[in-house]
Amino acid sequence: MACDPDFVDGKHWAVVNTHSHKEQLAIEHLHRQSFEVYCPRIRKRISHARRFVEVERPLFPGYVFVRITASGDQWRPILSTTGVRTLVRFGNQLGLLDDVFISSLRARERDGVVIAPETPYQPGQRVKLVGGPFDGVTATIISSAEKDRLVVLMDLLRNSVRATVPQNRVMPQF
């Protein structure tokens, strides 16, 4: 994000904060005002009615990106758009993103959904926990969880214990 004077020429992306779960409403109303809007989406697996289903959700819940010319006041109508809470600003300066960020997200899209990078860990893989209270304990990966976490099964005191740990707290067991 930038708000320096060297960044104000040309078209950039403003970050729009929407009301809770109102991204689609904000997108529709911004489109009616002829704004170019981008809301990257991901596929999530959720539990619904005692079964798992895949749904599309915003990659950044509560935020969408609007392409604007930074040098003008063209962004002011965005503030009174249905579904919009505010714009990300630093004082009176807009927090702007360069096209490179949005282009990199769009480059990772497949069928309108941003594809997450592959995790280096696979279910069934043996790992060693690093740091924290379980430093040195060997575990087996059960699955990947949200926000770069892994669900592991540890053997502690002759009992199997299930835990969720950050991915940066494990290393492959050789």
Domain ranges of the chain: 5-114, 126-172
For residues 131 and 124, the answer to whether their CB atoms sit within 8 Å is no
Same fold, 5-114 and 126-172: no
Mean pLDDT value of segment 135-155? 87
Closest CA to 170 of 130, 119, 140, 120: 130
Separation between Cα atoms, residue 55 and residue 112, nearest integer Å: 13
Q: In the chain, what percentage of residues exceed pLDDT 70?
A: 90
The pLDDT tens digits of the residues spanning 126-142 come to 999 998 888 889 999 99
Check residues 136 and 117 and name the one with the higher pLDDT: 136
CA distances from 104 to 2, 4, 6, 9 (A): 17, 22, 22, 21
What DSSP element (H or E) covers 102? helix 99-107
CA distances from 107 to 112, 114, 139 (A): 10, 8, 36
> Would you give the DSSP letter of residue 77?
G
Class of the 126-172 domain?
mainly beta
Check residues 166 and 29 and name the one with the higher pLDDT: 29
Confidence check: pLDDT of 47 > 70: yes
User: CATH fold of 5-114, please?
Assistant: Alpha-Beta Plaits (3.30.70)
> How buried is residue 140: exposed, middle or buried, by Cβ count under 10 Å (0-12/13-18/19+)?
middle
The pLDDT tens digits of the residues spanning 48-90 come to 788 888 889 999 999 999 999 766 678 889 999 999 999 999 8
For the entire predicted model, the pTM comes to: 0.68
Greatest pairwise CA separation for the chain in angstroms: 67
